[in-house]
Amino acid sequence: MDLAEKRREVRKKLRKMEGLPTLPPIVQKLNTMIEDERVSIQQIAEVIERDQVITTKVLRLANSAFYGFPKKVSTVQNALMLLGINVIKVLITTSSIFEILHKEDVGLWEHSIGVAACAKIIAEKIELKDPQEIATAGLLHDLGRVIQKVGFKEEYEALLKAVEQGEDPLEAEMQIFGINHAEIGAFLMRQWSLPDRLIESVGSHHAIEKAKQFRKESAVIHLADVLVNARGYGKTIRKTVPFMNEKVFKLLKLDFLDIKEIYVKLEPKLYELKFFTEELRKELEASEV
Ligand SMILES: [Fe+2]
Ligand SMILES: [Fe+2]
């Protein structure tokens, strides 16, 4: 099979979501409600409260160290107002994906929330609009990896083997899948009708020149990914720091001193997050016994 064919195959499978988690009806209902401008936050909160699992997730996210609100958030409505509808939409849509998170995936989860925290710091520094949405893009940027693992087991094994033998993961996955994890993630996010800003910054995080409308956002995720990798926080399948596109400096108007400042701000955030992921790791270990 040539690369173009492989690519088509992967897309076909993604379209059918074969072997991939599908969205429960309540999530679909919530997504339609969120799109509808006539629906109030209170009405959305009421629907969420009818679902124990989603309620728990929303409250846990709102109370996690990631957001660092000083007081406990105890109602869904407050969580919706504090986090914003977009964050909640992403959370409920992707929760079925992260549900399949296993103990061995905590490293990727850690990497993702590290990138989210870093992307938010960069977005605030360069005064990009809605830094929280950029953080969400950071959280989801490697979603394609989760999809590769659960939806394409054989190919994923081959990828791990190639990386083990010293190949660059981006090149290896092009050979094996004909499409990289960034594009796979974006493809699925489009199917779920997530906002374009999120889709493009995830889809182009390894090739910012491909971004059309949201190149700066893509550059932020690209830079955050490299910085968190270089810091050694979390664990992905890669063994080396990804190649950094130096155009990000010009595009985001940053220099090396700014990078130093970003790291200074990032460090305490990572420290806090470590507690959160340690808890998650323990929970997963307990549930897998
Ligand atoms: Fe990536
Ligand atoms: Fe990454």
Tens of pLDDT, residue by residue over 116-145, are 889 999 999 999 998 878 988 998 899 899
pTM score, two decimals? 0.79
The whole-angstrom separation of Cα 179 and Cα 84 is 32
Considering every ligand atom shown, identify the ligand nearest to the alpha carbon of residue 186 and give its number.
1
Q: Compute the radius of gyration of the chain from its Cα atoms.
A: 19
Other CB atoms within 10 A of residue 233 CB:
22
Instruction: Assess if residue 174 is contained within a domain.
Output: yes
User: 């079925």: which residue's tokens?
Assistant: 96
Instruction: Assess if residue 38 is contained within a domain.
Output: no
Tens of pLDDT, residue by residue over 62-111, are 887 666 777 888 999 999 888 887 777 777 766 655 555 565 677 887 89
Instruction: Assess if residue 115 is contained within a domain.
Output: yes
Domain CATH number, residue 152:
1.10.3210.10
User: Mind giving me the DSSP string for 128-158?
Assistant: -S-HHHHHHHHHHTTHHHHHHHHH-HHHHHH
Whole-number Å distance, alpha carbon 32 to ligand 2 midpoint, is: 30
pLDDT of residue 96: 56
Whole-number Å distance, alpha carbon 199 to ligand 1 midpoint, is: 13
Give the range of the structural domain holding residue 14, as residue numbers without chain letter: 3-19+104-281
Number of domains in the chain: 1
Whole-number Å distance, alpha carbon 142 to ligand 1 midpoint, is: 5
pLDDT of residue 167: 94
Confidence tier at 285 by pLDDT (50, 70, 90): confident
Instruction: Assess if residue 144 is contained within a domain.
Output: yes
The whole-angstrom separation of Cα 249 and Cα 253 is 5
pLDDT of residue 20: 56
Instruction: Assess if residue 111 is contained within a domain.
Output: yes
Whole-number Å distance, alpha carbon 5 to ligand 2 midpoint, is: 26
Whole-number Å distance, alpha carbon 12 to ligand 2 midpoint, is: 25
The whole-angstrom separation of Cα 138 and Cα 218 is 10
Instruction: Assess if residue 78 is contained within a domain.
Output: no
Q: Which of 50-54, 86-90, 160-164, 234-238 has the highest mean pLDDT?
A: 160-164
Instruction: Assess if residue 46 is contained within a domain.
Output: no
Instruction: Assess if residue 266 is contained within a domain.
Output: yes
Report CA-CA distances (Å) from 170 to 162, 176, 179.
11, 10, 9
